[in-house]
Amino acid sequence: MTTGNKGAGGNGHADHDLNCLTIEELQAHAHTMMDKQTRDYYNEGADSGSTLLENIDAYKKYRIRPRVLRDVSRINTTTNLFGFKSSVPIGVAPTAMQKLAHADGEEGTAKACRKRGVPMGLSSFATTTLEEVAEASGEIPNVLQLYLFEDRDHSRKLIARAKKAGFKAVFLTVDTPILGRRNLEIRNQFKLPPHFKIANFVEEEEPALSNDETTPTSANQSRPRKPRAYSTAGYTHGEKRVTPTGPITFHTHAANPTLCWEKDIEWLKEECCPEMEVWVKGIATAEDAILAVHHQVRGIVVSNHGGRQLNGAMATLDALPDVVEAVRGQIPVHVDGGIRHGTDVFKALALGADFVWVGRPALWGLAYKGQEGVELMLKLLSDEFRLCMGLAGVTKVEGISKEYLVKIDKSGFVARL
Ligand SMILES: Cc1cc2nc3c(=O)[nH]c(=O)nc-3n(C[C@H](O)[C@H](O)[C@H](O)COP(=O)(O)O)c2cc1C
Ligand SMILES: CC(C)CC(=O)C(=O)O
């Protein structure tokens, strides 16, 4: 969005929610709105949660070098992706089960993104169908996040539906071949309440099981069939790979330990292209970035799943510069994890990211006020980002570079990049 400087994220008083002027305040409001199970599921990281915290803290190691006496009366925050002009280089990352936060769920997120003119990633484990989300998104191009199941048929069906619904890209999540250890989830014995469904896996042909059953038995095979939603990634039971049904538990779904470049990326490209671009989400090293380029994916997201997978892994902002250098501009590099302020967006772009995605802040927005809360979250980050650009003396997104940053080490030493 090109705007004049007046009110461009500064101190104009119109249009503010006076109870919520920062993402930190949004988080605090959300805290009071969510039940414990949801709050813990959304907010926790794997194991001790140190990577989750480091994702956030990594941004504090950089300071901005503002340039002055440049005409910043017109600031253009837009950027192009998937053939679309996003109002800011910020999208809503795919996060599972958004109806836990608010009845608006993924549809509310989609409408908020549409209003703010930014894309959204839809989780494979959404509580809303991808068709409903596509409808709510209108002209905004969306991304389907994929967990590639060993049972190819399910993935194939999902991909076909996404193409038909007009999704522009799939983000294959590659940091979750095995699910990270989330201790609060275990302690709370997390269960998706029965009135919610993992909406994109409603299967006409699935045998109806009671909520307590996790594997089909000969007894329940003969029961009448009815449509149901279920978890589908499969797990090993003795020699056999089985598809679990029944309640969603993180120990029976999502992970596919067989995932690999040759077998899966090539298959996925065959299935998706040319209608949808194939990206990989969850790259953290230069080596894998080079492989991604080699396998001709259309883009990568530097991500550690918001610190929910390998605790002890690098903060994403720390991983970013190596990846950017390795990719050498051949494909776009996005980043997510720990972004809580517009200045964080500026820093990520200065270190070479083309675009950023935010996960938990959108969930907090949903929990606070549904669709309106996600709009608020996007407005806060967008306003902060625009203000940061202006005060740093940059008027267009492509102009943000490492010239605008210094890195401060533990002893306080300031280094030019
Ligand atoms: C509650 C929750 C659920 C998530 N579900 C998914 C998912 O289904 N698929 C996926 O690829 N990433 C998922 N993620 C990871 C996000 O896409 C993103 O990488 C992460 O949230 C970014 O970190 P941030 O929350 O600090 O912004 C999830 C994250 C959270 C917090
Ligand atoms: C269904 C889950 C595996 C979703 C997820 O990616 C997460 O909780 O981090």
Domain with 32, as residue range(s), is 17-188+249-416
**Cα dihedral 274/276/277/279 (nearest 10):** -140
DSSP H stretches of helix in 59-126 = 105-116
What pLDDT sits at residue 161? 97
Pairing relation of β-strands 240-242 and 235-237? antiparallel
Best residue for ligand 2 mutational test, from 38, 179, 200 (most atoms within 8 Å of Cβ): 179
pLDDT digits (tens, 9 = 90+) for 54-113: 999 999 999 999 999 999 999 999 999 999 999 999 999 999 999 999 999 999 999 999
Cβ–ligand 1 contact at 364 (below 6 Å): no
Q: Which pLDDT score, from 0 to 100, does residue 251 have?
A: 53
Look at residue 351 and tell me if it is in a domain: yes
In a domain, 106, yes or no: yes
Nearest CA to ligand 1 atom 20: 306
Q: What distance in angstroms lies between residue 106's CA and the mean position of ligand 1's atoms?
A: 14
Nearest-CA residue for atom 8 of ligand 2: 96
In the prediction, which pLDDT does 252 show? 57
**Ramachandran category for residue 96: left, alpha or beta (phi over 0 → left; psi -120 to 50 → alpha):** beta
User: What is this model's ipTM?
Assistant: 0.99
Q: What is the pLDDT of residue 148?
A: 87
Residue 274 within a domain: yes
176 annotated among ligand-binding-site residues: no
Using omega within 30 degrees of 0 as the cis cutoff, is the peptide bond preceding 274 cis? yes
Q: What pLDDT shows up at residue 347?
A: 99
Q: Is residue 1 part of a domain?
A: no
Identify the pLDDT of residue 255.
73
* Overall number of domains in the chain: 1
Q: Using DSSP bridges, classify how beta strands 405-408 and 414-416 pair: parallel, antiparallel or unpaired.
A: antiparallel
Tell me the pTM.
Answer: 0.90
The answer as to whether 49 is a domain residue is yes
**411 a known binding residue?**
no
Longest dimension (CA), the chain: 77
Annotated catalytic residues are 305
Q: Which ligand is nearest to the CA of 317?
A: 1
Per-residue pLDDT at 219: 31
Segments in the chain below pLDDT 50: 2-8, 204-250
Q: Confirm whether 237 is domain-assigned.
A: no
Residue 302 sits at the vertex; the CA angle it makes with 94 and 77, to the nearest 5 degrees, is 75
Q: Is residue 23 part of a domain?
A: yes
Decide if 178 is inside a domain. Answer: yes
Helices 130-137, 152-165: axis angle to 10 degrees equals: 20
- Which pLDDT belongs to residue 4? 44
CA-nearest residue for atom 6, ligand 1, is 95
CATH code for position 270: 3.20.20.70
